[in-house]
Amino acid sequence: MTTRLQQAFKYLRETGGKGVVPYITAGDPDLDTTYELLVALARGGATAIELGVPFSDPAADGPVIQRACERALAHGIKLNDVIATAGRAVKATGIPIVLFSYLNPLLRHGLENLAQDAADAGLAGVLVTDLPAESARGFSQALQQRGLDLVSLVAPTSTEPRIAQIAEHATGFLYAISVTGVTGARQQLSADASSLLQRIRRVTQLPVAVGFGISNAEQAREAWAQGADAVIVGSAIVRKIEEFGAQAPEQVERFVRELVAAQTAEA
């Protein structure tokens, strides 16, 4: 079975294109706007979208996404709300949506239940930030049985044997963290990104998306030039949502269009 994420990255490779994968936090500023944002990101040309489950202790995230989680949780957003909103957007656009979460909310829901509910809603996959590779097999199988992918993180400190272990149960694509630290827009792409991409390429054929710190077209072009199949852009988009609130969909659609267009523009 070819999954929707696999189809999306296969299309990029066949056409010589590069991908843009935006991240937003569900429920920020509210669920109706989250739906409009998902639709806007799809219109803007996103390859796929990561939809964050708000969590009270987002240890991997910087202040921008931490504040987004706080705003969403203050509205009482639950995992079921996130899945339902994602399902509406999938029906409206067909865009592959990856549920982005820390492990605890998913464990409370039940991993088998989560896999089934995500499949029923038409989601494309799940990324769990703090799921150890040693514990990923069962959840990966539960997702694959339902046509969904498990997207896994690879850190700049990961050795080739560790990357191979992570890739063993990952499907869809690998999320390559470009810098040691938390999420957040940065002035330039970390030098660690190139080295990490080289190590990944030596041990797996999975597509690779680079994230953590990419916030503009120049950084996206640099990541693509170093061999990334896609870039993941989170904090720069979440900051626009924080600034523009209910008017953010138009702003983020324009921003994603600019990133998509950057691959054919002169550097």
Q: Give me the mean pLDDT over the 142-160 stretch.
A: 95
User: Domains, the chain, ranges and CATH?
Assistant: 4-256 (3.20.20.70)
Q: What is the DSSP track for 97-125?
A: EEEEE-HHHHHHH-HHHHHHHHHHHT--E
Q: Which amino acid is at 14?
A: E
Distance CA 250, CA 43 (A): 10
Burial tier of 219 (Cβ tally within 10 Å: 0-12, 13-18, 19+): buried
Distance CA 131, CA 127 (A): 9
For residue 263, pLDDT over 90 is answered with no
Q: Give me the mean pLDDT over the 142-162 stretch.
A: 95
Residue 230 has φ and ψ, to the nearest 5°, of -155, 165
pLDDT tens-digit profile of 55-66? 988 777 788 999
Q: Give me the mean pLDDT over the 230-241 stretch.
A: 95
Q: Give me the mean pLDDT over the 198-217 stretch.
A: 93
Taking Cα atoms as reference points, which of 33, 61, 84, 72 lies closest to residue 253? 33
Among candidate residues 36, 61, 117, 242, the one labeled active-site is 61
Q: How confident is the model at residue 90 (pLDDT cuts 50, 70, 90)?
A: very high
Distance CA 64, CA 44 (A): 22
Q: Sign of torsion, CA 62 229 141 137?
A: negative
pLDDT at 246: 85
Q: How many residues does the chain have?
A: 267
Q: Give me the mean pLDDT over the 64-88 stretch.
A: 95
pLDDT at 182: 46
- End-to-end alpha carbon distance in the chain: 38
For residue 151, pLDDT over 50 is answered with yes
Q: Give me the mean pLDDT over the 199-221 stretch.
A: 93
Active-site residue, 50 included: yes
pLDDT at 62: 81
Active-site residue, 61 included: yes
- Yes or no: say if 54 and 69 are a contact pair by the CB < 8 Å rule: yes
- Yes or no: say if 28 and 64 are a contact pair by the CB < 8 Å rule: no
* Token code pair at residue 171: 């499907």
Whole-model pTM?
A: 0.93
Judging by DSSP bridges, how do beta strands 49-52 and 97-101 pair with one another? parallel
For residue 106, pLDDT over 80 is answered with yes
pLDDT at 193: 81
For residue 188, pLDDT over 70 is answered with no
Whole-number average pLDDT of the chain: 92
Q: What percentage of the chain exceeds 70 in pLDDT?
A: 94
Least confident of 124-133, 235-244, 256-265: 256-265
In the three-class reduction of DSSP (H, G, I as helix; E, B as strand; rest coil), residue 211 is classed as strand
pLDDT at 178: 78
pLDDT at 191: 66
Among candidate residues 36, 50, 81, 222, the one labeled active-site is 50
Taking Cα atoms as reference points, which of 238, 234, 212 lies closest to residue 223? 212
Least confident of 1-10, 115-124, 175-184: 175-184
pLDDT at 185: 45
Q: Which amino acid is at 81?
A: D
